[in-house]
Amino acid sequence: MTGLDETVCIVGGGGNGLGEATARALADRGATVVVNDLGTSVHGEGSDPEVAASVAESIRDDGGDATAHAGDLTEFAYADDLVTETVDEHGRVDAVLNFAGILRDDLSYKLDPEDWQAVVETNLTGQFTLLQAACEHWRDAAGEDGFDRQRSYLAASAHSARGNVGQVNYAAAKAGILGMTRSVSSEMYRHGVRVNALVPNAYTRMTETVPEEHRPYTREEMPPERVAAFAAFLASEHAADVTGCALYAGGDRVGVFSEPALDRVGVQPGGWSVEDLAEHFREDVAGDVDLTRTESFF
């Protein structure tokens, strides 16, 4: 049993890389898949509806059930249409998995304002539009009797959420996804909806923007299909009640990230003065915690 038979899944950014691999994994396990993609370059330039159409056609050629829905997830009206038209055509939406994203890297003091806005819009707003549309539908559809099975939203974050040189816009958007999913998971669990963030690690066209001599791995070492298997699991009934989590998948590994937590705490009755902090903060409060954090995580 795959846990995906007779389900309907929307895959945002399903035309390339992790989104494409996930669309195929879902279809292979019995899901009806709606492949969304605007068909832009890795830098968000241009558009091509054939990108989504070719993936859907390939899935059908392999015996799966898939349709294409090309459009821009930064537009709230389009995200609403995607969910509404999926329900009209297929009767339901069981899971949404959103991998849509672009890169426009530069150092913070050189970054063009348009590149900041484009990356945040695509990688963060483009997650919220679809999450909002799906949750609005699911809240209404659940009614008083609830669902026959939990619904699931999976948003793609990234290691860069921890901070990475030259990716301030991408890191900010991907870190925002972590707060977004924690917030919405708390709102939607009582309606039978789980919401998670996935930090994937795989060789995609984004990896190819890194000079070859600096790429951390090859496609053979970190194929998108291994991440897709975990994404498909999270869409299935086998992941019931897994919600509000930041999860990892890459290569031979899957995992769960810890929540943000205080490493150390210092207490000063009556409050801390500047002089108290100057005397005690580093040794007595921070202790052995590293306070100089400049590592790049790409």
Domain boundaries defined on the chain: 8-256, 262-298
**Alpha carbon distances (Å) from 296 to 44, 134, 171, 195, 224:** 24, 35, 11, 28, 23
pLDDT by residue for the chain (298 residues), tens only, comes to 567 999 999 999 999 999 999 999 999 999 999 999 999 999 999 999 999 999 999 999 999 999 999 999 999 999 999 999 999 999 999 999 999 999 999 999 999 999 999 999 999 999 999 999 999 999 999 988 889 999 999 999 988 888 889 999 999 999 999 999 999 999 999 999 999 999 999 988 777 787 777 778 778 778 999 999 999 999 999 999 999 999 999 999 999 999 888 899 999 999 999 999 999 999 999 999 888 888 654 4
Instruction: Give the helix/strand (H/E) hosting 96.
Output: strand 95-98
Q: Which amino acid is at 265?
A: V
State the burial class of residue 273 (Cβ atoms within 10 Å of its Cβ: 0-12, 13-18, 19+): exposed
Q: Is 170 a catalytic residue?
A: yes
The span from the CA of 161 to the CA of 158, in Å, is 6
CATH class of the domain defined by 8-256: alpha beta
Catalytic position from the list 153, 170, 203, 248: 170
